[in-house]
Structure 1
C-alpha cells in the first residue's frame, strides 16, 4: 500500500523504516524521532495511518506540527490523507488540533475526578511527609560551635555538603541563630 501510494503520487525512491519500540514509549525515544531529525523541507513521509505516528492524539498532533514547521509532506495510506501545506491539509490539521484539545480536556477531567475520588476515600495526596530527620542532625554540636564562632551559613552549608536554604530551614526548625559578637543569648 505504501509503495502504491508513493508511485501514485510520484514521490520517488522509498526508504523503509519499521518501528519496533513499544507504543508506550514517547515518540522522541522511538525511531520516528530519528526519521524526523533527518527529514529536510520538501521531503515526504508516508505512514500506514496517522494514528501510528504517536500513542495519543496529542502526540500525533505534536509530530504533525513539527512536520508542518519543517515543511515535510506527510501522507497516510489509510484515509488517503495528505498533509502538505494545502488548504485541505490545513483544515485537517485544525480538526486534529480541536480533537487534541478535547482529548487534553478529557484527560484533565479524568485526572481531577480520580484525585477527588482518592481524597474522598481518605487517601492523602501529594508528596509524603518526610521522616523529620536530617543529615545535619548528627552534626548539630559542630554546627552550633561554628555558629558561635561566627562562621557564615555559606561556609557551614558547604562544609556539610548541603545548600544554604536547607541549612537555614534546619536552623529555623531547631531554633538556632548565628551569633553576632556581643549579642550572644
Structure 2
C-alpha cells in the first residue's frame, strides 16, 4: 500500500516526516485483533453463503425432478385413460405405454389418442370381416315349405345335377328315400 492511499485527502507532495506522522496520528486505524476477527467473520459468512447456495441449487434440482416425475405420472394416467376408454385392455397398452408418455401433456395425449383410434378402427374392421365371413357361410332359407318332403317320384323328375345337389345337401333325407339293402 502506498502512502497516498494510506493518508487519503491529507496527502500532499513533498510532505516531511513530521507532517506524515501528524497526518497518521489523526487517522483512526483498526487494530490487528479487530481486523483479524472481522476478516475471519467475513470468510465464514462467505463460506456459509457458498454452502447455502449449493444446498439451494440441490433443492431446486430435486424439486424440478419431482415436478417432472409427477407430470410424467399424470400424463401416464391420462394416456391410460384414453386407451382404456377406447376398448384397449390394460395388458395390451401396458406393453407400450411408457414409450409414448413424455413430460409434454399435449404430445402424450395426441399420441395416445392416435393409437386408440387406430386400435378401434382395427377392431371394427376385424369384427366386420368376421361378420362377413360368418354371413357368407350361412345358407339362405329354402323357399319351399319345410313340410314338403322329397318323394321318389319328385326326385326322379329332378335333373342329374339337381339329384347330386340334393344328395349332398340332404344326406339324411336321401338315405330315407333310398335305403341301402
TM-score, length-normalised on structure 1?
0.22
Give 1 or 2: higher helix fraction: 2
Give 1 or 2: higher strand fraction: 1
Q: Give the structure with higher Rg (CA).
A: 2
TM-score, length-normalised on structure 2?
0.22
